[in-house]
Chain A
Amino acid sequence: ERVMTQSPATLYVSPGERATLSCRASQTVSSDLAWYQQKPGQAPRLLIYGASTRATGIPARFSGSGSGTEFTLTISSLQSEDFAVYYCHQYYYWPLTFGPGTKVDIK
């Protein structure tokens, strides 16, 4: 099983600032990595797939990078609607696995 870890658990950021979230896989997942955003009481929303491709309708302030075992989600200038929990997810190897999430909170 590919174990996914995310850091930090909570990230405190002021609106307008840059946020950098990390995701690490226990073994390579190539570029088969997605990022999701989840707000309280809502379903997750796909932000990034293929490690760096933005999903349809996702603003350009969201970007993904990395391959192999190290990945990053960057939000260039946080908007109020971006405060949420972010999960990484690998679909390279069965069983599919998610990271534990990073909560982006207001500083």
Chain B
Amino acid sequence: QVQLVESGGGVVQPGRSLRLSCAASGFTFNSYAVHWVRQAPGKGLEWVAVISYNTIDKKYADSVKGRFTISRDNSKNTLYLQMNSLKTDDTAVYYCARAPVMSDGMDVWGQGTTVTVSS
């Protein structure tokens, strides 16, 4: 079945780095844009970043620009989020979600992976 599975979350100290992964299955991964969306504890949804189907175009939220890098490996059907210089405000559940194109509704979501930034 169509599925996205995130991994790589954990507890990390402020200023450190973490890399999240999102493994896709059940569909043609290289035909879709893919987003990262996060949700802080008890809060709403916040869009983080998106990458186009062919890796050429990437966009970021201002809150993560210069610290986070989105990438994908279409040969491995996997999306990544490299998170550097982490702050306590980055604590959240991180979801990956696919969309037909970068500017469209997100029709398939993973179950999320939890990132906790704490000293």
Chain A: residues with CB nearer than 8 A to chain B? 32, 34, 36, 38, 42-46, 48-50, 55-56, 87, 89, 91-92, 94-101
Contact = CB atoms under 8 A, between A and B. Distances in A.
Interface residues of B, number: 23
B59 A49 contact: no
A42 B103 CA distance: 23
B62 A45 contact: no
A36 B109 CA distance: 11
Contacts of A92: 103
Nearest to B102: A91
Contacts of A96: 35, 47, 50, 103
Nearest 4 interchain pairs by C-beta: A49-B105, A34-B105, A43-B109, A96-B47
Contacts of B37: 44
Interface string B73-106: 0000000000000000000000101010001111
Contacts of B11: none
A28 to B, nearest CB: 14
A34 B44 contact: no
Given A43-B95, A44-B95, A89-B45, A95 B59 contact: yes
A91 B59 contact: no
Contacts of A36: 45, 106
A98 B47 contact: yes
